[in-house]
């Protein structure tokens, strides 16, 4: 059970859980569910899809680290965050091994626009086809940073931070639901109640047609008790933002430990690193740092650097809560 978990443990659990879930998924990214059923992932692996050593994390964690670093040192400065994304794509900061080996098309395109001087909040494309999970995957620090503020502030922050790479309302709404769910988990809420309350908050907030209509795209999440009972065959681990959010929440609802949640996410197949990282973040916040196997954390690339950054961010966030 996850009751009685200290706030700092929940924050650190989310941060480490995100990176662990990412690293678990990297070697089997793009593999089908049928492949995972024949050869389920049960531990950290290496090489595979991207030919990377065990413990390697991808763009999901890199862009999350850029966000943490920017919040710590520059606050809510979107220009600074955009510059950090550009430095990452040029393999100068926050890569696992000094090179970028995995980046989504929409994300890469937006970062190149940032490099050309496009305003940060206008860099992400607005077309309906640009609704991958590339902003959702890096939203955990935003949820943590804005915890304790009114729900409306979190929702608008999720929109703005998403816009750097994904500006369509569908992606922004998904990020808002996710951030509010994380915040409810941070206060000790049980997963189904956390999702239910996040839904109520966004439903009450959206009063413009563009956002209200996109909220309906996520309507399978409610009622939560019905969503939780869906069979795995009704859940996809694809790169589409709606699928990614649904899959991650479904894995959290249908597990009883951090390990069970992230491995369930990886074994859905398809976009395994991102489904793993989003699920790992949710499960890590819910169960706390102590629930994440120490051997998995220690095996991550640049684990000492992660530890320093994560602790600095957790200390700042916990003191502000």
DSSP letter string over 89-129? Answer: HTTSSS-SSSS-----HHHHHHHHHHHTT--GGG-SB-STT
Q: Are 172 and 162 in contact (CB under 8 A)?
A: yes
- 222 in any annotated domain: yes
Reported as a single tens digit per residue, the pLDDT across 242-295 is: 999 999 999 999 999 999 999 999 999 999 999 999 999 999 999 999 999 999
- 77 in any annotated domain: yes
- 310 in any annotated domain: yes
Q: What are phi and psi of 125, to 5 degrees?
A: -75, 155
User: Is the predicted pLDDT of residue 2 greater than 70, yes or no?
Assistant: no
- 1 in any annotated domain: no
Average pLDDT over the chain reads 96
pLDDT for 92 equals 92
State the Cα–Cα distance between residues 244 and 249, nearest whole angstrom: 9
- 57 in any annotated domain: yes
Reported as a single tens digit per residue, the pLDDT across 101-128 is: 999 999 999 999 999 999 999 999 999 9
4 falls in which pLDDT band (50, 70, 90)?
confident
CATH code for the domain in which residue 180 is found = 1.10.4080.10
CB-count burial class (<10 Å; 0-12, 13-18, 19+) for 111 = buried
- 2 in any annotated domain: no
Q: Which domain holds residue 145?
A: 7-320
pLDDT for 1 equals 46
Name the domain count of the chain.
1
- 314 in any annotated domain: yes
User: Is the predicted pLDDT of residue 297 greater than 80, yes or no?
Assistant: yes
Q: Which residues of 270-301 are buried (b: 16+ CB within 10 A; e: fewer)?
A: bbbbbbbbbbbbbbbbbbbbebbeeebbebbb
């Amino acid at each position: 059970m996850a009751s009685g978990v200290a706030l700092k443990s929940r924050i650190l659990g989310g941060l480490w859980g995100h990176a662990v879930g990412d690293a678990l998924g990297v070697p089997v990214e793009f593999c089908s569910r049928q492949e995972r059923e024949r050869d389920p992932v049960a531990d950290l692996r290496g090489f595979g899809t991207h030919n990377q050593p065990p413990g390697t994390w991808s763009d999901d964690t890199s862009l999350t680290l850029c966000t943490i670093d920017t919040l710590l040192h520059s606050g809510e400065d979107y220009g600074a965050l955009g510059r950090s994304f550009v430095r990452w794509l040029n393999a100068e900061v926050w890569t696992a091994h000094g090179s970028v080996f995995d980046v989504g098309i929409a994300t890469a395109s937006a970062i190149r626009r940032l490099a050309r001087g496009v305003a940060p909040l206008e860099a992400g494309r607005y077309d309906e086809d640009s609704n991958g999970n590339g902003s959702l995957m890096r939203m955990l620090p935003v949820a943590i940073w804005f915890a304790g503020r009114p729900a409306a502030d979190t929702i608008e922050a999720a929109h703005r931070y998403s816009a750097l790479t994904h500006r369509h309302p569908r992606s922004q709404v998904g990020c808002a639901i996710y951030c509010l769910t994380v915040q409810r988990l941070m206060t000790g809420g049980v997963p189904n109640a956390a999702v239910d309350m996040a839904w109520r908050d966004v439903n009450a907030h959206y009063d413009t047609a563009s956002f209200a209509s996109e909220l309906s795209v996520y309507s399978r999440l409610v009622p939560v008790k019905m969503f939780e009972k869906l069979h795995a065959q009704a859940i996809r681990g694809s790169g589409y933002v709606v699928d990614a959010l649904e899959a991650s929440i479904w894995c959290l609802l249908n597990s009883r430990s951090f390990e069970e949640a992230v491995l369930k996410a990886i074994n859905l197949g398809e976009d395994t690193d991102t489904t793993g990282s989003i699920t790992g973040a949710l499960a890590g916040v819910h169960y706390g740092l102590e629930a994440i196997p120490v051997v998995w954390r220690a095996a991550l690339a640049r684990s000492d650097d992660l530890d320093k950054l994560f602790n600095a961010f957790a200390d700042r966030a916990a003191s502000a809560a």
